[in-house]
Amino acid sequence: MTTKERILEEALGLFSQNGYDGTSMEQIAELVGIKAPSLYKHFKGKEDILNTLLDIAEKRYDENFGSADNVKIPGSIEEFIETAMNSVTFTASDPMIRKMRIFLVKEQFRNKRLAKITTRHQIDGLLKMYTRIAEGMMEKKLIRKDDPSFVAMEIIAPCVLYIAEADREPECLKDVLKAIREHLIHICELYRE
């Protein structure tokens, strides 16, 4: 791991524990094992570290979870459940994404920019993505016609709450994933054509 990667990893850990304002460049440098001025060889400052982390997390999330612009409509209920579970397992288990989510949830009340990012990831982006999936599943007659945005909300809201539980209590991740799978199966049964 390069020094720059270590800086990012340690900064994210500190941000998720202490918040942005509660983390100093000195703390980051100490965990990396360098002097604080050496951080400036890699980043302009703490905000540059944050922006880099946000960019990396955004890219990683889009590649592994998907987005409203990158939606694959499943060909069957089983494919939907497996694809959704793969996405949920990624977001709940990936250490970087988990730390970023914890950080954003805390910081959303202190920073309007981070509040918008949190809303995009936990509500708006998921709602757009799953509305498109629901529309496609309705067109393929996998589920009955209904308001796709309501179906999407019924899918995602419990999942977001369960993932928040796993963030607070990591030891319950296995139970959370099981509950989410059962929820997805239930929703599909409710809307099955």
Give the torsion sign (CA, 130, 150, 141, 81).
positive
pLDDT at 67: 81
Instruction: Clarify whether residues 57 and 125 are in a common domain.
Output: no
Which of the four pLDDT bands, split at 50, 70 and 90, describes residue 83?
A: very high
Instruction: Clarify whether residues 81 and 24 are in a common domain.
Output: no
Of 64, 95, 118, the position where a domain reaches its end is: 64
Q: Secondary structure of the chain: what % helix, strand, coil (to 5)? A: 75, 0, 20
Per-residue pLDDT of 136-188, as tens digits, reads 999 999 999 999 999 999 999 999 999 999 999 999 999 999 999 999 999 99
Q: What is the dihedral of CA 136, 141, 146, 151, to 10 degrees?
A: -60
Residues 27 and 34: their CA atoms lie apart, in Å, by 10
Instruction: Clarify whether residues 29 and 80 are in a common domain.
Output: no
> What are the b/e assignments for 137-175, b being 16+ CB within 10 Å?
bbeeebbeeeebeebbbbbbebbeebbbbbbeeeeebee
* Global pTM value: 0.90
Instruction: Clarify whether residues 69 and 12 are in a common domain.
Output: no
Computed over every residue of the chain, the mean pLDDT equals: 95
Which of the four pLDDT bands, split at 50, 70 and 90, describes residue 61?
A: confident
Instruction: Clarify whether residues 167 and 157 are in a common domain.
Output: yes
Instruction: Clarify whether residues 16 and 40 are in a common domain.
Output: yes
Kindly provide the residue ranges of all beta strands, DSSP E only, lying in the chain, ordered along the sequence.
Answer: none
Domain tally, the chain? 2
Spell out the residues 6+ positions from residue 94 whose beta carbon is closer than 8 angstroms to its own: 60, 64
Is residue 66's pLDDT more than 90? no
**Domain extent for 12:** 1-64
Instruction: Clarify whether residues 143 and 158 are in a common domain.
Output: yes
Give the three-state DSSP class for 23.
coil
- The rounded radius of gyration (Å) of the Cα atoms in the chain is 19
pLDDT at 28: 97
